[in-house]
Amino acid sequence: MMRISETVKHLIIINVIMFVGTQTIGNGILFFDLFAMHFPKNDAFQLWQVITHMFMHGGFQHLFFNMLMLYFFGSMLESTIGRNKFLFIYISAGLGALLLQMGEQYIRYMIMERQALEFGYNSAQVIEVFKEGKVFTDIGQEFNIIYSTVTFGASGAVMGVLAACAFKFPNAEIMLLFPPIPIKLKYLAVGMIGADLISAILTGTPLMANSNVGYLAHVGGAITGFLIMYYWKKTQFNNNRWN
């Protein structure tokens, strides 16, 4: 069994503590209100949610599979590139995931807001529709779907770690759990990221998970992890700056 690296161990502990807190304090609502990422125009949005949402999970299964992937691929990657580089990839991938996911939501919001303004509604009325979940009868747009969306989970950061690990060790063989067959890491990464990309293009139709998954967040995290590793390789980055 692979030995868990120090940073990965600490990240898993933080995620578990946040999950226990979510389940035991405030009836499962308080932690999500405070630490999950809310749409920026939502009154519940706070700047720290940009970071804290990466440590929130909606259920044990969500937490377990994210931490399992972090244990395997994170330990493998950190043991090779060091703590500082690994943590930089992890946080950056989480931010990249959020940027793509939230960017797509914001674009949809701007399109709907523009349509509402063209029909004679003002900005204050648009916000009220957001808050109350009403529908503009003229254009049939339901803003509350975006306004009430809450983003959370380590999946984007973990997918960035997976992509970085696959870039570093493309031909390393990994034993799948279901089915229990070996597969090269590069094929596993391409398969998982490709499935998420297809699901995102198909407006959330699930290929590998349920429809509540933030597929664009997975893709954004993976792209970020890959680009960082690609940049470091191309520029022959000085390791002494990080360790």
Alpha-carbon dihedral 165, 170, 174, 178, rounded to 10 degrees: 90
Looking at the structure of the chain, the number of domains it has is: 1
**Domain CATH code at residue 138:** 1.20.1540.10
Report residue 125 as tokens. Answer: 């009325």
The answer to the question of residue 193 being in a domain is yes
Ordered per-residue pLDDT tens for the chain, 243 residues: 678 999 999 999 999 999 999 999 988 889 999 999 999 888 899 999 999 999 999 899 999 999 999 999 999 999 999 999 999 999 999 999 999 999 988 888 888 778 778 777 777 777 777 666 666 665 656 666 677 789 999 999 999 999 999 999 999 998 887 778 889 999 999 999 998 888 877 755 444 444 456 788 999 999 999 999 999 988 865 555 555
Cα–Cα distance measured from residue 69 to residue 93, given in angstroms and rounded to the nearest whole number:
15
Look up tokens 């529908």; give the residue: 135
Give a yes or no: residue 1 inside a domain.
Answer: no
Quote the Cα angle for 70-16-90, to 5°.
35
**Residue 33 placed within a domain:** yes
C-alpha–C-alpha distance, residues 143 and 141, integer Å: 6
Q: Is 170 inside any structural domain?
A: yes
Helix, strand, coil percentages (3-state) for the chain, rounded to 5, are 65, 5, 30
Question: Does 54 map to a domain?
Answer: yes
Strands (E), 102-214: 135-136, 141-142, 150-151, 173-175, 182-184
- Give the domain range for residue 216: 6-241
Q: Tell me if 235 is assigned to some domain.
A: yes
- The answer to whether the CB of 74 falls within 8 A of the CB of 161 is yes
- Tell whether 111 is covered by a domain: yes
Structure tokens at 95: 């931010």
**Is 233 inside a domain boundary?**
yes
